[in-house]
Amino acid sequence: MSNPNKPLVIQGPLWNRRSFLKKSALSAMTAALGTQIVHAAHLPAGYVPLAFAIDDNPLKGKSEDLIIRNDKPWNVETPPYLLDEAVTTFPNVFVRNNGLIPVNMDASQWTLTFGGESVKAEKTYSLADFKKRFKPYTYQLVLECGGNGRAGFYPPASGNQWEEGAVYCAKWTGARLRDVLEDVGIKENAVYIGYYGKDKHLSGDPDKVPISRGVPISKAMQDETLIAWAMNGEDIPVAHGYPLRLVCGGWPASTSGKWLHKIVVRNQVHDGPKMMGDSYRVPKHPVAPGEKVPEEDMVIIESMPVKSIITHPKSGAMFDKSKKLNVRGHAWAGERSVAKMEVSADFGATWQTCNLKKPANHLAWQQWSAEVGFPLSGYYEIWARATDDQGVAQPMLVPGWNPKGYLNNACHRIAVKVS
């Protein structure tokens, strides 16, 4: 085959009812192989020859050092040292799914429909419509899973035991949702939007939706909220929402719907799966660890809190005492920006102010770095702490326990050995 990475897709069923390979399919395969399939008559029913097996592994090309938290659905975490890039590239982007990643998507047939109580009339766009009719914008946007850091809570909360790496900042290109909503025409009573994707429920039931979340109209209307068709200048990878994705930077990444095919404009808070109960909601007042919290005391998570990560060096690395160590990473604060970044090498007794860059745009993470010296050989820890533009700093310890283990923004720490 001319391009081994581009699988041949043969349209229509390969097999007839008697399980014989269809003549047309056989001749297409023979042509593609440039030779005949000698024992074609013995191919078992439904068997697709390896040369034609569609390689639909959506994690192909990911770094081998990603940590698999679950394989059904795929939930894969990035270790901090792989997040060193200012703009995270595909191999290092964590993957979070609530259902099954859709397969065989045809971008040329893709549509996105706007409906719900608060549209003036339903309207459907093709992918080409978006690219043609709306001005494209590109922003670097932090997507962090609301459950990033869940592993730090005790008693443990159920769900993927994310440590630090369920976060990334990629460059997204698309139409502003605001421009599209203006084109659709929405009613005065619109308060919320909700998304629907093409992923399948784990049960296999086609009528069940794995997740359908959303944001208030004010967030939907923000400049940086996109209906994106490109990530880092290329088609969005399948695992991250190909061919169309809603991107709401700075909020729980669960609001950024992948494989987007419907947006509903609601006259009430959207009530799709994972909007209610304990999902992506936290108690509105502190609760004792393990306490049951009544539903009416839970509030929907909006902007994510101030946080930072050390991406260099890798925890556990060894260093030469005669040289200063370059320590660096990123900091972000949901809708806010980060005003100050500090590191400590003495368990928080003293703090050193870091160099801190401005964000590339609102809702992008900020790069920080520091040169850290060590007086003696031995074991050290480096702790990193960000403070946002309202003076709110990351806590040293795991913050308020909540039933599903969201919003753990405790300081990231790494160990280093100096000799």
Interface with Mo ion by CB under 5 A: which residues? 96, 145, 254
The entry of Mo ion, ligand MTE, none near residue 88 (CB within 5 to 8 angstroms by kind) is: none
| Residue 97 interacting with ligand MTE (CB under 6 A) | yes
Report the residue number whose CB is nearest to ligand MTE. Answer: 197
The entry of Mo ion, ligand MTE, none near residue 80 (CB within 5 to 8 angstroms by kind) is: none
In the complex, least distance from residue 213 CB atom to Mo ion, rounded to whole angstroms: 9
Q: State the distance between the two ends of the chain, measured CA to CA, in whole angstroms.
A: 55
According to CB under 6 A, which one of 211, 300, 339, 364 is a site residue for ligand MTE?
A: 211
Phi and psi, residue 31, nearest 5°:
-65, -45
According to CB under 6 A, which one of 115, 210, 348, 400 is a site residue for ligand MTE?
A: 210
Name 304's bridge partners.
none
According to CB under 6 A, which one of 254, 311, 337, 387 is a site residue for ligand MTE?
A: 254
Cα 227 to Cα 135, 172, 185, 216, distances in angstroms: 11, 9, 16, 16
Residue with Cβ nearer Mo ion (70 or 267): 70
The entry of Mo ion, ligand MTE, none near residue 95 (CB within 5 to 8 angstroms by kind) is: ligand MTE
Residue with Cβ nearer ligand MTE (195 or 368): 195
The entry of ligand MTE, Mo ion, none near residue 143 (CB within 5 to 8 angstroms by kind) is: ligand MTE
Residue with Cβ nearer Mo ion (119 or 145): 145
| Residue 240 interacting with ligand MTE (CB under 6 A) | yes
| Residue 145 interacting with ligand MTE (CB under 6 A) | yes
| Residue 251 interacting with ligand MTE (CB under 6 A) | no
Interface with ligand MTE (CB under 6 A): 93-99, 143, 145, 197, 199, 210-211, 240, 253-254, 256-259
